Amino acid sequence: MANVVVIQAHSLGRDRGKAALSSFETMLAKYRVKLDWSGHSAKIKGVGVGGDVQVTDNQVKVTVELGMLARAAGIDATRLQASITKRLQEAFSQPS
């Protein structure tokens, strides 16, 4: 299994940090991937992918695990990491 880890710093606190992820969560839904939240942590659930999201007072950590199905579909871990990094930077550059 290939793992992708992206850490995005922020200064919003946990609640506003989680709220800032709404655009990221909407983008994931386009790929039939959802975040199953429990407090300030979420499990990433989708066909061929799993992982988690951790929101703290000063950072968000996204860990994605690509299963065999995702890799067979041609999902490249390096490109996925770059895409997640870009999406998180966009989410946290929006005025809150």
Tokens of 86: 């870009």
Q: What is the pLDDT of residue 1?
A: 55
**Where do runs of H (alpha helix) occur along the chain?**
13-20, 22-29, 68-72, 77-93
Residue 66, phi then psi, degrees to nearest 5 = -90, 120
pLDDT tens digits in sequence order for the chain, 96 residues long: 579 999 999 999 999 999 999 999 999 999 899 999 999 999 999 988 999 999 999 999 999 999 888 878 888 889 999 999 999 999 998 765
- 2-70 to CATH, choices 3.30.310.50, 2.40.50.100, 3.40.50.300, 3.30.930.10: 3.30.310.50
Q: What is the pLDDT of residue 95?
A: 61
